[in-house]
Structure 1
Amino acid sequence: MASAIQKIALNASRDIPFNKLVLSQSNVRRVRVGLSIEELARDIERRGLLQSLNVRPVLNGEGAETGAYEVPAGGRRFRALELLVKHKKLAKTAPVPCVVREAGSAILAEDDSLAENVQRVALHPLDQFHAFRDMLEKGMSEDEIAAAFFVVPAVVKQRLRLMTVSDKLLEIYEQDGMKLEQLMAFSISDDHTRQEQVWEIVSQSHNREPYLIRRMLTEKTVRASDRRVRFVGLDAYVAAGGHVMRDLFEADDGGWLDDPTLLHRLVMDKLAGAVEEIRTEGWKWVETALSFPWGHARGFARIEGTPVVISEEEVARLTALHSEQETIEAEYAQADEFPEDIDIRLGEIEQAIEALEERPVSFDPANMARAGAFVSLDTDGTLLVERGFVRPEDVLVEPEDGHDAPESYDDAVAHHRAGNDLEGIGTEDAPGTEPEEEDGLKPLPDRLLTELTAWRTLALRDAFAANPHIALTELLHTLVRDLYWQVSGADCLEAYVRDIPLRVHAPDMPGSIPAHALRQRNEGWKHDLPEDEEALWLWLDRLDDTSRLALLAHCLSFGVNALYERMPPYGAVSQRSVSERLARADRLSTALRLDLAEAGWQATVENYLGRVTKARILEAVREARGDEAAERLLEGTGWLPEALRTPISADKPTDVPAADIAAE
C-alpha cells in the first residue's frame, strides 16, 4: 500500500497591533542600500503595506510568550511603519499583517531573514517596461510613475523608449540574445526594419558595442573617403545601385554616399569572403568585425611564425626596382618636383618594394590548429589580418626540464628541495622529535632561514641602490617579462605596471595614429628581443643606454591612465582620486606637449558632434545645417573639446625656439 504524501502546513497569518512589535537583532541586513526608509514610508502611506512582516513570539526567561513579537524578516518595512507612527500618520495600535513563526521553531530567525533577502529575484527590465507602459496607457503620466517608484523621470522615459524597439528585438533580448545596453541603443530609431537590418549585421560581428549600433542607426550619409568605401570600392557601390552626392568643389575622394545600409551589406559580404579564404589556411577560429575594441587580444597568447624565404626571382625583381628608383631620382635630382607621370611611377615602385621586403609569415600547422586570427578593416580601407592568437584555454603548458609540472604549492616546494644541491633548505623540526643522524648536514630551521634571507635582502637593497645600471637592467627584466612573456609567479624585484584596459572608447580609436604607433613599437621590440627568456637579462644588460630608456618608456606607457570614471556606489575609486589622476594627466600632457589634433583626433558626428547638446555645437550651424555640416566646417581646423586640450604651461621649456614661444 502506497504511503500518504506528507502535507506541509504554512505559518499562520494574523493582524498584530504595531505597539506589540519589536525589531529583532537577528535581522541580517546591516548595510542600508536601495530605497530609503523615508521613501518606503511614503510608498506605504500611498498604497498600504504590500507584504506582511515575518514575526516570532518574544519569550521571557522561563520560556513563556510575553505577548510581544520580534521582527527578524521585514525590518525595513517595520522602520517605515515606525516612522509613520512617529509622524502621527499611523496609530500605535494599528493592526499590521504578520506571518507568525511558532515559538521554538527549528528554523533560525537569521535563516528567515537571510532567505527573504536573497531568494527574491529582481524584476526583469522588460517586465518593468511592460508595467510602465500599462500604467501609462491607463492614465498615469511619466512624472506620476516616476514619483510612485522614487526614480527620476528620465528612468521612466528610458524604459518607455523601448516602445520604439521592434518586437523581434525585444524577443531576442527576452531570450538573453542581447544585453540591455544594446537594446537601449536601438531605441534611438523608430524604424523597425532598419533596426532589424542593423542587428542582423552586428550579430554576425565580434563587435556589438552599443555605440556601433547607434552609429549605424543614425548614419544617414557616409563620406566617400571612409575606410568602408575604400574597402568595397566606389564603383562596386554604384554598380549595386548606390548613389553618391557630389560637390563640385570637393577633391577626388569627396562626396557622400546616401545609402549606409547598402554599404554595410557590401562590406560584410566582402569581409565574409575574406574570412572564408583565411579560414582555409588552417586556423582553429577566425573572428571578424569592422573594428575590434581596443585591447581585444588581451589575455591571448601568440604563436610565432617564420618569414618566408625570398626567392631568386623576387631578389631579381627587388634589385631591378631599386635600380629603376635610383635612376629616376638621379635623373630628376636638380628638378624642383617630379612630373606627374614620374611621380606616379615612383609611388608604384615604392609600393612594389615594400610588398617584396615585407615577407609573408608561415606557421606550423600543429600550432595553427589551436590558434586563430582577427580580421578587420584598417584605417586606409585595407584588410587587417592579425594571425596567431591563442585563447587561454588552448595554451599548452609545457613541463620544465622534462619533468612533470608540480600540481600544487606543496609539490613545488618538495620538488625544489629534492633537487637543490645547496644545503640550507629545510623545515623547522617538529616539537618533541629527535632528528635522525645523517651523513650530511640537516636542513636549516625555517625561522633561521627567514632571518638569514632578511639580512641578505637588506644588503641586496643597498647594493642595488648603489648600481643604477644593474637596477635599470633588473627593472627592465621584470617589466619586459610581464609584458611579453606573461610569466606568473613571484619575482625578486616587486615592481610591475598595471595595464589599464580601455574598455570604453570611440570606434575610430583602434585604427588611430597613436594605436598604430603603439602596435608598431610593440612589434618592433618583440622582434628584437631574444627568443629564449633565459637570455633576456644578459641581452638587456648589454643594450645601449638610449635603447634601454626607450624600452623602459614603452613598458611604462601601458600603465598611463588618464581615464575619467563614473563613481559607482561602494566603489574602490573615489571622486577625489579621479580628479587627482586627471590633474596629473594634465601635467604629463603639458610636459610631453601633447597635441591631440596632431595625433589624429578630429571632431565628427560619430565621435563628438552627434553626442553632445546643441549648445556645444557651432552656433552658426547648429540650427540651420545640422551636425554633419558642423563636422565639415571643423574638418582640418585642429579644434579640440575641453577634455582633449593640453593645459598651457606657465614655464616654457628652455629648448623651445623663441619664434615658437612667440607664436604660441
Structure 2
Amino acid sequence: MTQLPILVPAANLAKSPSNVRTVSDPIADAQLEANIAVKGVRQNLIGVPVSRKKGHYRVIAGGRRLDAVYRLIEKGVFDADYQLAVLVLGNAKDAIETSLEENFFNLTMNPADTCRAFQDIIESEGKTPEDVAKRFGLTERFVRSRLRLADLADPIFEALRNGEITLNVAVAYASSSDRTRQAETFEQLKDGYYRANVNEIRRQLAEDTYVGNDPKALLVGRAAYIEAGGRVDLDLFTDATTERWIDGDILNRLVADKMAAAAETMREHEGFAEVRVLPSTHVTYNDTWDLRPLKGETPSLTDEQQARLKEIEVELEAANEAYEDAAEDDAAELANRVETLEAEYRAIEKPVPVLTDEQKAGALAYVVIGHDGQPRLHEQLYVVPAEEDEADGTDDDADNDEVGEDVVITSGKPSYSQRLSQELAEMKSELVRVHVASDPGFALDLGTFWMADKAMRKYGGTDLATELKADKPWSALIGFQSGTRAAEEWGKIDDALDRSWTEVGDACARYDAFCALPDEARAAWLAWAIARTLHAVVAGRDGEDFIDHLGTKLEIDLAAWWRPTANNYFDRLSSKAAILAHLEEIGGKELSSRYGASKKHDLATSAEKIFAGSVPIEAELREAALAWVPDVMRFTQPDAQIEAELANDLAVPDGEGDLPQAA
C-alpha cells in the first residue's frame, strides 16, 4: 500500500544530519524563498521520525525548502503554525541514500525551456515580467533577458535547445532584435572559426547600426530617423544614449542630406572655393594625401598683447612660489590658476593664422560631424588642387608629389599616379581572380601549367604573374578595398567553401577529411587557391600581357563588372582635362563642352553618373558610356588602336618604297 504524505507543523521539523547537501547557493536560496512566499511549498518533504519525540521528524530531503519556510516565518510572511507535507520513511537506514537520490538526479532546465516557460506564463496568465521575477525570486532584468532569448530567430533558438550553442552565444545573438539579421549572421558563422566568439557575433550584428549618442544619431535626431522609417532596438535597460538604431542605411541617407545642406551654407558664408563633406568626426590622411595645407599669415603681437605676456610671466612666478608653501586646498586652487595662465599665454604667443579673402576664395574645406552631433568645419584648410595646364600638359605641383605618388606620363594618354596605376591593376586582376575561381576546370588547367612551366625553367621570371604556393601575393596598397562587384563576388565564393575539414584533428586527419569532400567541394578549393595567387600587374610591366590573355580567354565582360566612379577613377585623374577627354571619347566635343565650366570635383561626380547611365542623355551616348572603360583596364586593345598600330607596322620608311629613276 502506497504511503501518503502527512501535514506537520514547521516547528516540529528539523534538518537531518544525514542530508547530503552541505553547500548551498545564497542567490538560488533567495529565489526559492521568493517562489515559496508566493506559491507555498508545492513539493512534499521526506523525513524520518525522531525517537522519543512523537510528531517530530528529521527532514532528509527538502532541507532548502524547510530553511526557506523558517525565514518566511521569521519575516512574518507565514504564520508560526505553518504546516508542510512530509512523506515519512518507515526505515531510517535509507536516509542517506534517499537524500542523495533527491539531490544527485536533479537536472537543471535547458535555458530554451526556461525562456519559453516564462513566455507562456506571461501570455497565458496575463502576467508581467515583474510579476514573474517576484514569483521566482529573480531580477526583472534576468526575466526580460530570457524573454528576449525566446524571440531569437528559429535556427538559433533550436541550436540553443539542442545544445549546439552555449547560453552566452545565444545572449550575444539576442543583442539585436532584428531576427533576419540574427539568422543571416548565424548562417555565416555557424561552421566557421568565430561560431562561438561572442565578441565577433556582437560586432557583426552591430555593423551598420548606431547607438543613440553616436554623432550621426545626434545630428539627425530620433524623431526624424523614426519618421523616415528607422527602427530602434529597445529594452528596459537602455536609454536615449545606449539604444541601438538598427537601420544604418536610413540614418546614413539622412546624414548625407543634412551634411550637404550644412556644407553649402558654410561655403556661401565663408566664401571658400569648395567644401567637401565627410560623414565622420575627423579627417583622415587618405582624404587629404594629395592636398597641400593652406597656411595663413600669423599676425604680429600688439603692444597690449606683449604687455599682457609680461604680466602673465610675473603672475606665474608668484603662483609657483606660493605653491611650494601652500596648504592642500590652496595648492589645488593655485595649480588651476597656473594652468589657466599658461593656456592664456600660449593663446597670445601663438595667435591663430589669418587668411586673406583671396586665400579663402581658393581654399578647400572639409565639414565633419562634431562629437555633439553638429556639423563643423575642420580646422585645417587646403589649397584646391591646381588644374593641369591644358596647353602643354604640365603640372606646376608635379615636383611636390609625395614619394610613392609620382605621376606616370604616357604619350597621348591620361596621366596616372603610381597609386592610381596600382589600384587599377589590383581591380583588373581582381576580376580575373573571380572568374578563375568560378571555373574550376579552367583553374585546374591554369594551375597545372603554372607549376609545370616554372619547374621547367632554369631561371625564374615574372611574366606568368603568379606564385603557385597559393599564398596571397604582397600588395603595395596596405588595407586597400576596391568595393567593386568583383570584391563582393569574391566574398561569396570564399563564404561558400566547405571548411568542415579544417576543424578535424591533426594534419593527417585533416587531409583524410579533405579527401572525403565531394569532388565539387574539392574543385572549389582548387579554383580558390589558384585564383588568389594572381598578382596585380601595373600597365606596361611584365605579366600584363598574360593577365590580358586570361581575361580574353575567360570572356570577361569588363564593362558589366566594373564601372568608373569619382572615388575609384575620375577624382584620381591628374586634371580636369583628362576627364573631359574621356567624355569626348564617347560624345565628341559637344558632350565635353557641356561640362567644360565645371570644377574638377563636380565634373568627376557628373562623369560617374554619365558612365553609369544614370543621367538622361541621348540613347546612343548612353550606350557608348555604359560600354566604355579606360584602356588601362581593358583585356583587349580597342579596334582603333589595333588598326593604328597595324598601319604603323606596315608603313614603308621614307625612300625605301620609291621606284628607281631612269638614268
TM over 0.5: no
Richer in helix (by share): 2
Larger radius of gyration: 2
Q: TM-score, normalised by structure 1?
A: 0.34
Q: TM-score, normalised by structure 2?
A: 0.34
